[in-house]
Amino acid sequence: MVEYPDITAAAQRLHGHLLQTPCVASQTLSDITGAQVFLKFENLQFTASFKERGACNKLAQLTPEQSARGVIAMSAGNHAQGVAYHAQRLGLRAVIVMPRFTPGVKVERTRGFGAEVILHGDTLDEARNHALALAEQQQLTFIHPYDDAAIVAGQGTVALEMLQQVPDLDTLIVAVGGGGLIAGMATVAKALRPAMEVVGVQTVRFPAMFNAVKGTHHPQGHSTIAEGIAVGTPGRIPLDIVTHRVDDMLLVDEGDIEQALVMLLEVEKTVVEGAGAVGLAALLKHPDRFRGKRVGLVLCGGNIDPMLLAAIIGRGMVRAGRLARIRVGARDVPGSLARITAMVAEAGANIDEVHHQRAFTALSAQNVEIELVVQARGHAHVEDLLAVLRQAGFDAQRV
């Protein structure tokens, strides 16, 4: 078991090599959730993730022989960047095996830190097996992303900082993949404040730690926007710690994560990846569970593919009613479209897209189906717009 002195020793090794990220209150998120919310901005680390804490702690303890041969790691991205960056800083050779589905932004940033990147397999487990084989062939030291005491100790420094910055937190809500982060943080929390509640969060598509702790048998999926915690098998070291020191585990689905990610972008003006948003997703999904408590959330990473971020923002706007698709049936005569667009403008909405449909419609041959994508202020505004069109005699429906 990793113990509190291991984490304080890790903090001394990391001093001056990483950013002590801010942990600040969010008044708006507190108003929304009913809890007092404090955000730990680990997405502000140089590699945009907490993962470099564990990587730096592990690399700092290599023997001269291990340093001379170099290191190898498997990762979907954040651990890879942490290992690559600190290996480059220490002058070590670094080989990183990444699953083939890894977002391109993470692959290129890892290469940018001087690492040799190998894309292999469709899952973390397949990448790990290949990395272990290469480690044996080339006598490289394998740096596991979570199932390593030095890694767990390094990640635990997140909680050490949080409790220095906000000593009277009641609850920590932590994203869980393999379990390295929550294992380290729970060790600190229970050492300094035994009554503090530590809650882990996983996505319903990758509930391995949840199943292991609670004895459930939720099926595993194949993909998630929280790819940073898409782990099929929890680490043995973290699992032992989680079993003894974590109070509860929660599950969130893809829609919950998307909602939280967009909210952090809009409210806090901060970019997080899917894994970085699951803590807030759990808080939004279970507000009564945490109401009135002083809750610390770790924004554990900010490495998200720009195309995925754009898609999530668009979907978030649809869920909020700020983007809507409406279908209007009208007589196919000159001026009909002009009337419709003028009424949309008068209602205070803006048109993004216009599509005419004459052939693929059940309307009579003298009519046309016009589909509009509009920007609105919310669901009530969309309903007001539909009412205006219907009052003018148009058959208007939300799609």
pTM score, two decimals?
Answer: 0.90
State the pLDDT at residue 122: 84
**235 neighbors 146 (Cβ within 8 angstroms):** yes
Q: Tokens 């290949």 label which residue? A: 130
Which three-class secondary structure state does DSSP give residue 351? strand
Select from 165, 202, 166 the least CA-distant residue to 182.
202
d(CA 96, CA 76): 10
**180 neighbors 155 (Cβ within 8 angstroms):** yes
Select from 56, 46, 98 the least CA-distant residue to 73.
98
State the pLDDT at residue 365: 67
d(CA 217, CA 59): 36
The pair of structure tokens assigned to 388 is: 């205006």
**378 neighbors 385 (Cβ within 8 angstroms):** no
d(CA 109, CA 49): 13
d(CA 365, CA 342): 24
**Backbone phi and psi for residue 43, each to the nearest 5 degrees, phi listed first:** -70, -5
d(CA 102, CA 305): 10
Task: Please state the CATH superfamily assignment of the domain spanning residues 321-398 in this structure.
Answer: ACT domain (3.30.70.260)
Entry field: residues in the chain: 399
Cβ burial of 29 (10 Å; 0-12, 13-18, 19+) is buried
**Per-domain boundaries in the chain:** 4-50+149-316, 51-142, 321-398
* Cα atoms in the 13 Å half-sphere on the side-chain side of 159: 32
d(CA 170, CA 189): 10
Phi-psi region of 90 (alpha: psi -120 to 50; beta: other; left: phi over 0): alpha
Q: Tokens 């469709």 label which residue? A: 122
User: Is it true that domain 4-50+149-316 has CATH number 1.10.3720.10?
Assistant: no
The beta strands (E) that lie in 259-394 are given as: 294-298, 323-331, 350-357, 367-375
d(CA 343, CA 386): 10
The pair of structure tokens assigned to 251 is: 């599950």
Per-10-residue mean pLDDT, the chain, length 399 = 96 95 98 98 96 96 96 88 94 93 80 93 85 95 95 98 97 97 98 97 97 95 89 93 98 96 96 97 97 98 91 92 93 88 94 82 75 95 95 92
The pair of structure tokens assigned to 304 is: 């998200």
Q: Tokens 């490495």 label which residue? A: 303
Span between the terminal Cα atoms of the chain, in Å = 55
State the pLDDT at residue 227: 87
**33 neighbors 287 (Cβ within 8 angstroms):** yes
The pair of structure tokens assigned to 386 is: 């539909």
State the pLDDT at residue 159: 98
Q: What is the DSSP string of 197-259?
A: EEEEEEETT--HHHHHHH---PPP-S--S-GGG--SS--HHHHHHHHHH--EEEEE-HHHHHH
The three-point CA angle 376-379-382 to 5° equals 55
The beta strands (E) that lie in the chain are given as: 23-25, 36-40, 71-74, 94-98, 116-119, 141-142, 171-175, 197-203, 248-252, 294-298, 323-331, 350-357, 367-375, 395-398
Which three-class secondary structure state does DSSP give residue 46? coil
The topology (CATH level 3) of 51-142 is Rossmann fold (3.40.50)
Q: Tell me whether domains 4-50+149-316 and 51-142 share a fold.
A: yes
